[in-house]
Amino acid sequence: MTDAYVALEGGRVVEARARSPGTTRGELVFTTAYTGYEESLTDPSYEEQILTFSYPLIGNYGVREERFESDRVHPRGVVARDLTEDVVEWLEAEGVPAVDKLDTRDLVTEIRDSGAMKCGIAAGEDVTEQDALDELEQCKHMSDHTDIGDQVTTPETVVYNEDGSGADVALIDCGAKGSIVDSLVERDATVHLMPHDTTEEDVAELDPDVLFISNGPGDPENFEEANELVDDFVGEKPIAGICLGQQVVANALGGETEKMEFGHRGVNQPVRDLRTDRVVMTTQNHGYTVADPGDTLEVTQINVNDDTPEGLENDDLDILTRQYHPEANPGPNDSKGFFDDVLSMADEESVATTN
């Protein structure tokens, strides 16, 4: 029995089975990851999106809170070929509509051909195609979500590992995954998780060893305060960034970013280092990319599939960014050395200040 509808930009409506009831809307995207569904569903970078899993069975190793990247599910809706009861119960408790029993291969192919698209979902008893179409009509493009940072940021500064003997890191929370904090704390850094609209004065008062811009959802141009922080502290503090953080750093330093056709989302994205010619496999989740790094930043890593920038650096200004997620959970872990490199910049800054 059909009791759910997925309305796609362009007018096509796909029938499905309701698993978690409700109506919702968002940008329809897909991930190629075959593990890590708990991490994906709690990744703040999926805010205002509807997540389609290309792997057919989602939930085959249960749901464990210790794997979560944040305190809630962030996609507005979930689409899969088959969802297990564990995942359905979790999504129901979170109030996130979910559907399955549709051809996700066909849906993923359409996204690849047409690009990420607006989508509306209606699931549950007595819903109609028109309910899904009504949701679609109200859906906005990702760049129009100008307040998206407010939806994913910490409301106030939170300090992790306060007595750490390592660097003080000001982590600007544009939607930070918990594993970024964990990766820094594992190296004995003290992490000050600060709101995305933190002011120059607040950072200056903290006087951190490194300014770190996190990942996050949507258009990097909508994170104006984070852009301003990079501009304020470039040349004064080491600066690092992951995913959206790389895009913010590039924009702040004269580069340009652009919307990708369907983005990079999965755990098998190959990245080549232009200095060593070494290729590593990476986890990624982004719909925007750096189109032009500008004159300040050097592209040091690229995506093997499409040559988009995956690493930007300026050794003289102590700037180091990555488009992918070095903290990746459940993996791969090929690039976790990034955090050592970031903290090495902080150590060098401390020595320079002392001298």
The residues carrying an active-site annotation are 243, 325, 327
Alpha-carbon distance values, 305 to 121, 215, 308 (Å): 32, 22, 8
Per the annotation, does 247 bind a ligand?
yes
Per the annotation, does 285 bind a ligand?
yes
Per the annotation, does 45 bind a ligand?
yes
Q: List, in sequence order, every residue forming a beta bridge with 319; answer none if it has no partner.
A: 239, 314
- What is the Rg, in whole angstroms, of the alpha carbon atoms belonging to the chain? 20
Alpha-carbon distance of 104 to 37, in angstroms, equals 16
Alpha-carbon distance of 22 to 123, in angstroms, equals 5
Alpha-carbon distance of 339 to 335, in angstroms, equals 9
Per the annotation, does 20 bind a ligand?
no
Q: Return the number of other C-beta atoms located less than 10 Å from residue 65's C-beta.
A: 9
Alpha-carbon distance of 209 to 190, in angstroms, equals 10
Per the annotation, does 161 bind a ligand?
no
Residue 350, SS3? helix
Under a CB-based contact definition with an 8 Å cutoff, are residues 21 and 123 in contact?
yes
Q: Which residues contact 297 (CB under 8 A, 6 or more apart)?
A: 249, 250, 253, 255, 312, 313, 314, 319, 321
Alpha-carbon distance of 28 to 12, in angstroms, equals 13
Residue 3: which of 147, 177, 124, 176 has the closest Cα?
A: 124
Binding residues: 45, 216, 218, 244, 247, 285, 287-288
Q: Which residues are annotated as a binding site for L-glutamine?
A: 45, 216, 218, 244, 247, 285, 287-288
